[in-house]
A and B are shown apart, each in its own frame.
Chain A
Amino acid sequence: MDVKSNHDIILKNVSFAYKQAPILEDVTLLIHNCEFASIVGPNGGGKTTLLKLILGLLKPDKGKISIFGKPPEEARRQIGYMPQYAHLDMDFPATVMDVVLMGRLTGTSLWFSKKDRAEALTAIDEVGMSRYEKTGFNKLSGGQKQRILIARALCSRPDILLLDEPTANVDHETEVNLFSILRTLNDKMTILVVSHDIGFVSKYVKSVICVNKKVVIHPTTLMNGMLIKDIYHGDLKMVRHDHRCSEEGHCHD
């Protein structure tokens, strides 16, 4: 595999099965430098599995994965990861600063240095949450929590940012804010965002990675109804979010 290629992430003929049930089959995927891609697909289609394979939390049964020319376990430190916050304990006694500083912990350091704190403050500022560093994490709204978890991923200064469903349970305005923050970050790093929502792709997203056992990557301009039908194996209506709803609201089928 060419180490000097401009691809950050390379998956070659990767297959993964969970208890004999195939989740991903013969996946080949190249993510180039400073890509901003949305990972979409039906539930159980393998989005999270794909993310965990890239992070090295799961090992492929077949095929090879390399991140910056290294195996995932060695490249982990260059990846910033934002998990879904639903699995975190919301009564946890921690301030925003406490949570963001976790992104600075390494295998060797025991306590945080001045530099760690400065980096954490910068990261909090980058997601537009400055002045909140002393606030309790559990006092924040869903969208704010997600921004803080992005700050935690950012403060280790990663080259790749992976976000697992950052737009789950947040309103449209928060989502737009979030993506404009990501747009700015995209100048410096590759970003992959898992989304449960195929109808919506932010205008900032450059490509869409469709995952349903197989993985296909498309430039966003090629996204159309036929493609969605192909992925979901059924007819669906495209939900457009790029317009303002009438005052009476709109209804989903």
Chain B
Amino acid sequence: MIDAIYALLDPDNLFLRYALIMGCLASVSFGIIGTFVTIKRIGYLAGAISHSVFGGIGLALFLQVNAGLAWFDPILGATLAAVISAVIIGLVSLHAKEREDTIIGTLWAVGMAAGILFIDRTAGYFNLSSYLFGDILLISKKDLVFVGSLDALVLGTSILFFNRFFSVCFDSEFMSLRGINTTFFYLLLLILTSLTVVLLVRIVGIVLVIALLTIPPAIASFFAKRLWQMMFFSILLCSFFTSAGLLLSYTFSLSSGPAIIILSGTTYLMLLMFHKWIKN
């Protein structure tokens, strides 16, 4: 671990510093959106969105190579796929009551499969595992700007509509009776979730997204009495997990995404047992 701290100070290791800054900056969005996802219990929807992101990445790579659209970045493909699937999944969850889980499970799998098929048809080698499990060490300065703008968007919208998101998550039917457009705020929340998911994919990858989105709020809920406290602690916890996981992965030459998830997952499970034990 000490090595990792020295490595941070080494001017040659700019990538490591970028990675740390990226992790802490992104934690702001993760903490806020993760808290909404946890209290609204839509972790499953976030999972479906993250897997359909892979379809967008595949499409972008396919178009870049086969159609010569060099500007069609995988990140752009991911963002488009995330937002579109958020709207579809949101409408499905609102209107298809009986078949909701089947339809969402289908979108989940179809998104993933489409991504693989696009990549099959694209010449060249792609490091699939960096999309699936994340690679925070490939972060560039451009990514930091992207994260910063997303933070501003998520933070601004959440502060502006805090009471609306809060009450729509708590009791949607009651709020629609109060004249609030609950469908709009539910979809807006899902779109913000989808943008956050795109960021998460860079850091922990598609497969591990749900864990980093929901574990910090779950831990925070042990001691937070109010929603803003839960968000605040989630942000702190998320920064801690990404930073510590990153340094661990550097020290022991491990993949960064899984290192972050193992660290946060085991912490959560241990605290959960401790919490139950204290209660009894």
A residues lining the B interface (CB < 8 Å) = 55, 57, 76-77, 79, 81, 83, 88-89, 91-95, 98-99, 101-103, 105-107, 110-112, 136, 152, 156
The one of B161, B175, B181, B227 that contacts A98, using a Cβ cutoff of 8 Å: B227
Known A93-B224, A110-B160; judge A105-B229 contact (CB<8 A). Answer: no
Chain B residues within 8 Å of chain A by Cβ, number: 28
A79→B178 CA distance, assembly (Å): 9
Query: Cβ of B226 < 8 Å from any Cβ of A?
Result: yes
A79→B179 CA distance, assembly (Å): 12
Stretch of B9-17, B101-109, B112-120, B162-170 at the chain-chain interface:
B162-170
Chain A nearest Cβ from B189, distance in angstroms: 15
In the complex, what residue of chain B is closest to A99 when comparing beta carbons?
Answer: B170
List, in ascending order, chain A residues with CB within 8 A of B161's CB: 110
The one of B173, B175, B224, B230 that contacts A105, using a Cβ cutoff of 8 Å: B175
Binary interface profile of B, 21-58, with partner A (CB < 8 Å = 1, else 0)? 00000000000000000010100000000000000000
A93→B221 CA distance, assembly (Å): 7
Q: A106-B179, A112-B163, A152-B174 are in contact. List 13 more A-B contacts (CB 8 A).
A: A57-B173, A81-B174, A88-B170, A91-B221, A92-B170, A93-B39, A93-B224, A93-B227, A94-B170, A101-B163, A102-B174, A105-B163, A110-B160
B residues lining the A interface (CB < 8 Å) = 39, 41, 160-164, 166-167, 169-171, 173-181, 221, 224-227, 229-230
10 contacts between A and B (CB under 8 A): A55-B177, A89-B39, A89-B41, A93-B225, A94-B170, A98-B227, A102-B166, A103-B178, A107-B178, A110-B164
B175 contacts A102, CB within 8 Å?
yes
